[in-house]
Structure formats: C-alpha cells, structure tokens
A and B are shown apart, each in its own frame.
Chain A
Amino acid sequence: MELSEIWFVLISVLFIGFFFLEGFDFGVGMSTRFLARNQKERTVMVNAIGPFWDANEVWLITGAGAIFAAFPHWYATMFSGYYLLMLAVLLSLIGRGVAFEYRRKVEDARWTNVWDWVIFFGSMLPPFLLGVLFTSMLKGVPIHKDMNMEAGFSDVINIYSIWGGLTITLLCLLHGLTFLSLKTEGEIRHRSAALAKKLVLAVFGSLVVFVGLSWLMTDIFEARPILELIIVVLIVLAVGLSYFFISNKREGMAFTMTGLGIVLTVSSIFVGLFPRVMVSSLNKAFNLTVYNASSGVYSLKIMTIVAVTILPFVLGYTIYSYYVFRKRVSDKEHLTY
C-alpha cells in the first residue's frame, strides 16, 4: 500500500471519527429546541456534552489539516470550490462555539434563549452542509484540467446532495438522542428514548432513499459493488438493532448502534470515492486522485511518523476524559454551562 493511500484511509478515519463524535453533540444541540420543555432541561442537555464538544470539533480541524498536508490539491480545490458552503459552515461553528460558553453568563432567560437558538442552528447547519458537501463531491463537480473547481448552484445543491445532507443530519439527531438517553436521568432520558424510537423509522426511510439515489446518480456501486453492498446491509442491521436496543432500554448498545450507523454511512462515501478524492463531472481524466493530488513521499513519511507517535496519546486522554465524565448528568448537580 502506498503512503498516499494510507493517508486517504487516515483522513477517512478522521472524518468518520468527527461525524461519530461531533455527530452526537450536533444531535444534542439540535434536539434542545424541541426535546427540552424549559431552559433548565436545556441546560442539563447542554451540560451532557459540555466537556466533549470542543475536542470533538478538533477532529474536523485535524481532518482539514491532514488534507492540507497530505493532499494539497484536494484541499485547494475543495476549499476554494465550495467557498460559500465553507463560509456557512464556519459561521455556524463560530456561533455555536461561543454560544455554549456564553449562554448562562448572564442570568436572564432571554439572553440564554437567544444563545440557545444559536446552538440549535449551529448544530443543525454544519452536519447538513457537510453532508451536502461530501455527497455532491461523490456525485461529481465541475473540476477543470487545471484542478480548479467552478461550481454553479445546481452542482452543489441538487436532489442528491440535499438528500445526503438531510440523511446525515437525521443520523446525527438520532445519535444525539441515544446519547441523551444514555447520559441523562429522569424525564429527559425517557423522552429522548421515546423520540429516538420514532425517529429510527424516519432515518431508515431516509437511508433507503439515499441508497437508491446513490445507485442512480453516482458510480459507487459500479466501482466497488460488493463492498458497498456489504456496507448497506450493515447499515440496515445497525439501524435495525438500534431500534431493538432503544425499545429494550439498553442505552449503551443503542448509542453504539446509532454511532455505527453514522460510521458506516460516512465510510460508504469514502469507499465510493477511493482512489479518487474528488470526482470531476466534466471528464474522468480531470479527477483528483490520491496519486495526483498528494504530497511528496518524504512529507507523507514525516507525517506518518508524527501521527503514529501522537495518536495513541490523543486516544488515551480522550478516553480518559469520557471516563472522568462517565456519570449521568442531572439538574441536581452543579451545571457549568
């Protein structure tokens, strides 16, 4: 396996990790608006993700940094090509990031409420927009011979990409609800489980349509039919099992399964892309691939050494932090955010 191929896998892992981890805090952020009955409940929900969301976001930052370092052409084409989409993602993340910190800095219901709206939109828009980005990338965008992308509105926003964005958003919402049922007590715990149970069906339907659209509008099932079909079967299994576990109040397993649903769905995108990193809708010859978009061997080697050395530590203290905050959150304790 070439180094550039390894880095494609590593970047996929970073984005899969991002959607798995930040997926649940996006989901929690989204559900604050309709699951909580009052500000106090909303505060409990926000505190359930309090110690984690910031580190979860770093997976995205690291993913983007890794693309920059390992595939400069991919980074340049994607970030400049999706300019306005990226801008919208950035603005959402800015608002959301400060909202967590600021929402209770002033003890005034209106103040908190405004920031909670920011959290709601800031949690819903990024998964949707990134879903749109990745699925439209999979479908193909106008990339010219010089590797520059000149996308019109419909290249980025079309039925397939909107459905992709919607599916990712719903998956995150479901994942957030199972997280809440796992991490909270009392009313919120029951209500989030009940809503998750209803939502599974919607997620399931959305995924079926997404697979159908992928069959029609992309070439991922031609490129790797067996692998993609296996993934589809596994997604069906994971989502099905999540329904089973939610019904049986096995919250840990339910959370694992909704997470697996996200992991598999995002994997299907990267599996479908490989060895391309961006698909040109103009000409196959203009595709960016792991071979023509990558950094030199030396650079990749250095990066590999660094990543292999540091990653175990990152995973170690990440797990430690989840262990420290393993208890359920309720309104009976001191709530920081």
Chain B
Amino acid sequence: MDTVMLARIQFALTTIYHFFFVPLTIGLAFIIALMQTLYVVKKNEIYKKMAKFWGHLFLINFAVGVVTGIIQEFQFGMNWSDYSRFVGDVFGAPLAIEALLAFFIESTFIGLWIFGWDRLPKKVHLASIWLVSIGTMLSGFWILTANSFMQRPVGYEIRNGRAEMVDFHALITNGQLWVEFPHVITGALCTGAFFVAGISAYNLLKKKHIEFYKKSMNIALIIGLIGSLGTAFSGHAQAQYLVKTQPMKMAAAEGIWEDTPDPAPWSAFAWIDTKNQKNKFELNIPYALSYLSYSKFEGSLKGMKTLQAEYAKKYDRIVGKGTNYIPPVKTTYWSFRLMVGFGMAMILLSMIGLYLWKKGRLEQSSRFLKFLVPAISFPFLANTFGWVMTEVGRQPWTVFGLMTTADAVSPNVSAGTVLFSIIMYTLIFTILAGVMVYLMVREIKRGPVEHQDANSTVSIDPFSKAGV
C-alpha cells in the first residue's frame, strides 16, 4: 500500500477511536453538571451521589479522550504536511484557538472539580463542572470550524500557492459549521444520555439502588429525547445544505447515478453496482427524496454521472485530467442509512421510555430495560457512521474543490514509517480499550457507594529496595 492509503487508514483509525470518547465526554459533562446543579438547588444528597458516580465513569473516559486528541493535532503535520502547508494559514487558527480557549478551561477546571470536592465552596465547585462542560462544547465548535472549512472552504484567497485567510468572520459564520455543530452537539448529548440510560436500566433490572438509577434514568431519557430529536432536525438541515454545497456527496449517499425524475423517490435499500455505475435493485419510496432535499414534493437531484462531468469541467484544471470525483459509493450510502437508522431508534426509545415513566411502569418493563442496555452502542455507531459518511463522502477531496487527498500527504514520510505508527497506535488503542472497559464495568458493579480511600492500607512496593 502507498503512503496516501496508509495515512488515510491511520486518520480513519485514530479519528474514529478518538470520536468514541469525545461525544461521551461532551454529553456526560453536561449531564453531570445538570445533576450537580440539582444537588446544589434541591440540597438532596442523592444528586451529589449521582454527580460523583457518573463523574467516575466520566473521568475514565475523559482520560482517553484527551490523550487520543493530541494525536489528531500532531497527525496533520506528521502525515499530511503538504496539506498543513497549503491551508495552515486558515486551518491552524481554529486549532490554536481551540487549545487556547477550550483546552485550558477544560484541563484547569477538571482539576479543580476532581480535587475540589472538599476544598471549594459549593457554588464555585459547581461552576467548575459547568466550565468543563462549556469547555468541551467550545472545543467542539472550533474543531468543527476547521472541519467545516474542509467541507466548504470560505474566507480565503489563493496566494503564494496556498490558501490564505482573508475573512475570519466568514470562517465562523460558515453555513456548513452551523448545520454541523448542532448536529454533533446533539449527537453527543444522545451519547451521554444513552450511556446513563443503559447502565441505569441494567441496574434497575438487577434491582440495585433503585431510587438512584430511576432518577438517573429520568434525566437521561429527557436529555435523550431532546438530543435525538435535535440530531434528526439538525441532520435534516445538514442534508439539505449538502444538496446545495456538496451534491456529489449527497448523490453518493443516496446511490443516485443518473439524474432523478421529478419528484424524486427515496431509496430505502439499493443493490449498488459501482463497476457498471448503476443499481441492480432499488426499494423506492416515491416523492420522499424531493421532500427531504427541498422540503416540497417536487424537484429532481443530479446523479453522480452528471456531477462527474460537471466537476471535471470545473476542477480538472486544478487536479488534473481524468480525476474520479465519485467517492466510495457503497460506504457512503450505507453509512448514511445506518446513521439515520440508529438515530431513529434513539428517538423511538426515548419516547417509549418517557411514556413508560409517565405511566409509572418504567421499572417493571423489563423488556424495554433489557433493550436499553445494548442501545448504549447506538449513539456510538450513529456518530461513527455519520463521520464516515462526511469524510469518505468528500473523497477525493481533502479540502473540497481545492486540494485532493493524494496531494495532501507528507512527501518525505515513507509508507513503512506510517505503517509502523499504525501498528503502534493499534496496539496502544487495543490495550486502552480493554483497560477502559474493564474499569468501567468494575465501577458500575461497585455502584454508587462512597469510595473508600485506598491509601489507608500501606502497601510495600515489591520493586523498591528498603532504605533507598
């Protein structure tokens, strides 16, 4: 395999892994801040217990999120140096601002929160978890500002052979950013909510700490419904936006080869044949795609073949004749459907949960509770498929319309070096995942009890020689 392919695999691997932890961090920080607010307002100790228990799980996850995030920042320079040279002027700024504005807040106030339970006044301590929550969202905002530039470059001019920033305001008002940011944040809320809901369901089934987990579940279900509905609406807005700005991505996500009839049907299932550029079988719902794309029951969409011709005319002079502008269609098509499917399932689950709660039947509905446990994975899967669709669907571009992925890679790094680092990351990630799951399960089994100090027992280190 060549360096480009390996660098892409590494990017996919590290980003997907990193993005298991980020949404859970954002979602849980918000939920914990909410619980602690209830504690400070209602003065009910159970909410303090909740903030502490979920806080323990949060910290186990937070640690991995932070350390895998550093890889992302360094990776642009290590694997994609020509990309960094070309867009650093524009792309670097949001990254630097993210560190300055968000990471410092997160890392300082997480320290104050963890170590401050007995040292800080209640309200200051509450403020620190809210600042952590705000910090995680700000971090999301700035990294998505950078990502949105790659999806839809704005506020730049090509000078001296690179993209130079000319309008910062355009960067932060990028239409792409304002459909992407709410989508990611609401998705993150879902992740936190279904995590809390699933673990609570598991314990309610075991009839452990019923009062504690019931209260946790209520909060989770409300956030889950807000989050999943928000994700659906913002996702819909994003899709409509993409029809205008990245029609090829949407055509691939819908498996449209030829221009659609007017009104356009939506395919729920398609047997895609990329070699002959057609679908062997389609299960279509009439009118639906027109409505999804334009909010009315008319209008057609361009197919990939038409778009290929259009893109060739427009971009061949930048990237060379004969470039294939069609992304991996099957991956894009199925990622899109899986994302939407898991999203819909989450809306349904939150609604059923809230209904059962209202009827006072939640703890008795063991079938529903049993379903909530594996549903912890739904938001993680939806998040991952969402990013796969977004990033794979953008190929062959790194920066849409400006730079291809093949041109972005470091010219001075060998394939062997990249492969070696992939192996190292995979090794470390596997160990980390194992340890993390082990710790989470332990913590969950222990439940919301006051944690005893381990330092009351003196243990002699077998490696140290006495008297050193």
Cβ of A221 under 8 Å from chain B:
no
Interface of A is mostly: helix
Cβ of A91 under 8 Å from chain B:
yes
Cβ of B120 under 8 Å from chain A:
yes
- Report B-chain residues with C-beta under 8 Å of the C-beta of A95: 428
Segment at the interface with A among B58-66, B206-214, B269-277, B392-400: B58-66
Cβ of B96 under 8 Å from chain A:
yes
Residue of A nearest to B94 (CB): A69
Cβ of B380 under 8 Å from chain A:
no
Interface of B is mostly: helix
Cβ of A73 under 8 Å from chain B:
yes
Cβ of A205 under 8 Å from chain B:
no
Partner of A97, one of B67, B81, B87, B166: B67
Cβ of B2 under 8 Å from chain A:
no
Is B459's CB under 8 angstroms from A69's CB? no
Is A69's CB under 8 angstroms from B96's CB? yes
Segment at the interface with B among A56-64, A166-174, A223-231, A257-265: A56-64
- Report B-chain residues with C-beta under 8 Å of the C-beta of A215: none
- Report B-chain residues with C-beta under 8 Å of the C-beta of A93: 67, 70
Cβ of B97 under 8 Å from chain A:
yes
Query: In the bound complex, how far is the Cα of B100 from the Cα of A310, in angstroms?
Result: 7
Is B60's CB under 8 angstroms from A79's CB? no
Residue of A nearest to B62 (CB): A101
Is A80's CB under 8 angstroms from B63's CB? no
- Report B-chain residues with C-beta under 8 Å of the C-beta of A295: 88-89, 92, 164-165
- Report A-chain residues with C-beta under 8 Å of the C-beta of B424: 87, 91
Chain B nearest Cβ from A183, distance in angstroms: 13
- Report B-chain residues with C-beta under 8 Å of the C-beta of A336: 114-115
Cβ of B109 under 8 Å from chain A:
yes
Chain B nearest Cβ from A228, distance in angstroms: 29
Contact with B along A41-85 (1 / 0, CB 8 A): 011000000111011011001101110111111011111110110
Cβ of A253 under 8 Å from chain B:
no
Is B89's CB under 8 angstroms from A299's CB? yes
- Report B-chain residues with C-beta under 8 Å of the C-beta of A36: 461, 464
Cβ of B108 under 8 Å from chain A:
yes
Is A61's CB under 8 angstroms from B412's CB? no
Is A107's CB under 8 angstroms from B63's CB? no
Cβ of A216 under 8 Å from chain B:
no
Is A113's CB under 8 angstroms from B114's CB? no
Segment at the interface with A among B72-80, B228-236, B336-344: B72-80
Can you list 5 A-B pairs, Cβ within 8 angstroms, ordered by A?
Answer: A65-B98, A295-B165, A299-B90, A324-B120, A336-B114
* B binding-site residues for A, Cβ under 8 Å: 59-60, 62-64, 66-68, 70-71, 73-74, 76-79, 81-82, 84-85, 87-93, 95-101, 103-105, 107-112, 114-116, 118-120, 159, 162, 164-166, 168, 410-413, 417, 420-421, 424, 428, 432, 435, 439, 442-443, 453-455, 457-464, 466-468
* A binding-site residues for B, Cβ under 8 Å: 34, 36-40, 42-43, 50-52, 54-55, 57-58, 61-62, 64-66, 68-73, 75-81, 83-84, 86-87, 90-91, 93-95, 97-98, 100-102, 104-107, 109, 112-113, 146-150, 295-296, 298-299, 302-303, 306-307, 310-311, 314, 317-318, 321, 324-325, 331, 334-336
